[in-house]
Amino acid sequence: MDKQFNVIDLFSGCGGLSYGFQQAEYRISVALDNWDFALKTLKYNHSGVDIICDSISNVNPLNIKNEYNIDVIIGGPPCQGFSIAGKRIINDERNKLYKEFVKYVAVIRPKIFLMENVPNLASMGNGVILESILSDFNKIGYKLNWKILKASDYGVPQNRRRFFLIGTQNKIFDFNALSIYKTKEITSKEAISDLPEGDIKPEDGYPIHPLSEYQVEMRKESLGIYNHITTKHTEKTISIIKMVPDGVITKIYRYIFKKREMLILHGQG
């Protein structure tokens, strides 16, 4: 990369999105969130980042624009109001944080922005919500493209799906370009089969040799296993868990979500 682009991470939390951009050699200049403990974690892992611990609505984006030469805005704004259907859904009071994200893009005018959210965002309200979001960003002159990506396609041992919206000032971003980063799926066994059955402290190191290429990679620059406290299930609980087919829990959650959305559509939520 000829120029190291400057990034502001809105609703940064502990810096998950920041970490990916940092790996791609972007400079994380500013992180904004109102959760102090999460920001302490971000600061520990991202040296040189200016931390702003405050509500986004209390911070003037014009001040950010004047103080930093921001090229990229990233973030996953909370969108609790997006589950209520109707033409005015985007104006729901609970979506004011999403509106703040739009305002930051409008004021700072980054070369590119990335907004991340739940995959259901694309289908809620029969598409009315997504249509409203795209309209908001189109009005301020951004060319848009979106896609639902699955973490397991990119080397993460988790079937986690997330909605990504990318806006640019010029050429529309082509999600097909990400195909070069796709990897084979990593199974849960490949990921965690080296973890011991009992509790362990970081200073104990790794009691088991790595059993897969993934584990070898994950151990690089790691001094030990952190936060490994195991649950001691009874034999009865273990036998019940074994009877649950793969994917059942996911289907249950999808059913509950759909049921809730239908209740809201009919004014019962």
Listed in sequence order, the DSSP H helices in 109-181 are: 128-139
Q: What's the distance, CA 14 to chain centroid?
A: 11
Cα torsion angle, 197, 201, 202, 207, sign:
negative
CA 244 to chain centre: 28
Residue from 79, 85, 121, 166 carrying the catalytic annotation: 79
Based on its alpha-carbon atoms, the radius of gyration of the chain, rounded to whole angstroms, reads 21
**What is the model's pLDDT at position 92?**
62
Take residue 62 and report the two structure tokens written for it.
């014009």
Scored b (16 or more CB within 10 A) or e, 91-117 reads ebeebebbbbbbbbbeebebebbbbbb
Residue 243 is predicted with a pLDDT of 82
Q: Which residue has the tokens 């259907």?
A: 85
Three-state DSSP state, 62 = helix
Give residue 249's pLDDT: 64
CB-based burial label for 158 (10 Å; 0-12, 13-18, 19+): exposed
Other Cβ atoms closer than 10 A to 211: 13
Tell me which residue of 161, 103, 108, 175 sits closest to 137, measured CA to CA.
103
Helix and strand tally (H, E) in the chain? 9, 7
How far is residue 212's CA from residue 204's CA, in Å, rounded to a whole number? 21
Residue 33 pairs in a beta bridge with 53
E strand or H helix at 27, and its extent? Answer: strand 27-33
pLDDT at position 24 is 92
Give the number of C-alpha atoms closer than 13 A to the C-alpha of residue 232, restricted to the C-beta side.
Answer: 2
Lay out the sheet containing 50-53: strands in order across.
Answer: 50-53, 27-33, 6-10, 72-75, 112-117, 161-168, 143-150
Annotated catalytic residue 14: no
Longest dimension (CA), the chain: 62
pLDDT at 159: 86
How does pLDDT run along the chain (269 residues), one tens digit per residue? 556 899 999 999 999 999 999 999 999 999 999 999 999 999 998 889 999 999 999 999 999 999 999 999 999 998 666 654 444 455 666 667 888 999 999 999 999 999 999 888 888 778 888 898 999 999 999 999 999 999 999 999 998 899 999 999 999 999 999 999 999 999 999 999 998 888 888 888 888 999 999 999 999 988 889 888 888 889 998 898 888 777 666 666 666 655 554 444 444 44
pTM, full prediction: 0.82
The span from the CA of 210 to the CA of 173, in Å, is 39
